Chains A and B, each alone.
Chain A
Amino acid sequence: MTGIGPVEPVNSAETGESYDVIGADAPRLTDRLAGRWNGLPRRARQGLLTATAATATAIGALVLTPGGDPAPTFPPRPVPWPANVTTWHYSGLAAPLNSARTSGRYRFAVSVDHGPPVTLTVTGAAFPGLRARVVPEPAFTVHAGTPRRITVEISVSNCSGLPLNAGLSFLDVTLRNTRAIQRHSFIFGRAYSRDLSTLLKNACEPPTATPGPRPTGSAGSQHAD
């Protein structure tokens, strides 16, 4: 019973302590930097250290020089968590669903209300037997105020365990901005569920006169508990 990504901003509502464990990008970045740092030759490291120290001293001297009015520091406007500013809207099928196909293309409008740009990746379509990705590029960035239209290709990789008629289907999306990386589900209403059901029925319903390329057990075919 996992299926739980490590990246959600998790805070207990209880204590309200805002330890930005997950959300913040920083840990990953520093990990990567640390890796590189350790990979550097000793001399290069020393050089870098010296350079950093020199720069820090210079900046410190500048800032601390009396007389110069330090630049007024505005409290930075809080950067929102990406899932709280991103909206998805289902706008319809990109192309009519072919009864012999096991994949379909769905169009969505994605917008960001405010804050820094959000980079999104679609990671799944709720069910283990479905694969979803944005075409042509799996990752895309949306800037605040400029909605973006995208196409998601959903393909059936395994029919077992797929409901043919499920309402309120959703897409699993990973969102990131300068504040955090979040995994989030975007849930859509009847129109999307209907169109998704059509795809599932085409791909999985047994009495298909022209058996399309029926997917055979690939990823996720082991459907045990």
Chain B
Amino acid sequence: MNTLPQQLANGLLLGSMYGLIAIGYTMVYGIVQLINFAHGEIFMTGAFGALTVYFYILPDGTTMVIAVPLMLIGGALVAILIAVGAERFAYRPLRGAPRLAPLITAIGLSLALQEVVRNFYPGADRARAFPGLDTTRDIGSVTIKDADIFLVVAAVVCMATLAFFVRKSRTGRAMQATAQDPDTAQLMGIDTNRIIVIAFAIGGFFAAVAAVAYGLKYGNVDYRMGFLMGLKAFTAAVLGGIGNIYGAMLGGLVLGVAETLASAYIDGIPGMQQLGGQGWSDVWAFVLLILVLLLRPQGLLGERVADRA
């Protein structure tokens, strides 16, 4: 049985999820040069927002066709609220501070969000069941489920919309301008604070989409789910060139495929049995990251930008 198509599909699916989360890292970094380490937790709160809609707001027995869009809205509301709140109350006061200060704040915020959810969301301290889309389909030799289709469709639609928004809309162009030079942009009459808030909100929205896809795919969520996914997504953003939205998506896909293929095939190479398998997939992902950073320090699609500070 040729497993390559299935493994590629596995990798692309995982990668799409990384990519969606990575957008949040990359947009925020592109505009304010802040690595928002709490983004993984924003992803996590998005999942709980969606869960709340499903379990506590919708009546029992709502079909998934209706439930999923409502869950998306609920998750997005929560994630955007927290992302924007974090910007307003945690990061904005530190805008002029040395770079390390917001970074540490981000890590603290991430722990705080985890603990809040663990302590106050019922049943969140262990895996909580999330409604799944578990119907499977065979496409050639590849088996995928409905949740996977949702993930791919959501990723493509979101990316296309974002690309259009950034390129064509007035706000999008203002974002580009702010990213290039916030001071000049402000002098030109752009409300940079508003642009920054929008960047955080878009990041939160994408995280919520990924979170709903995550819940539908894996069937449960818990308060730690953002930690590992956030780290992987950040890695994906760096891999693709942080600051570049296409880079984030590409980095996510490359990372997901690399991880999956490494775990699937490296232990089949003679002499490499000890270094293969699922347990080593993270190691290979980071080997790839280091190689890319050595050869192309700006990341796959990153541009060489002179330091501004």
In the complex they form, whether A and B have CB atoms below 8 Å apart is answered with no
Show the binding face of A for B, using Cβ within 8 Å. Answer: none
Show the binding face of B for A, using Cβ within 8 Å. Answer: none
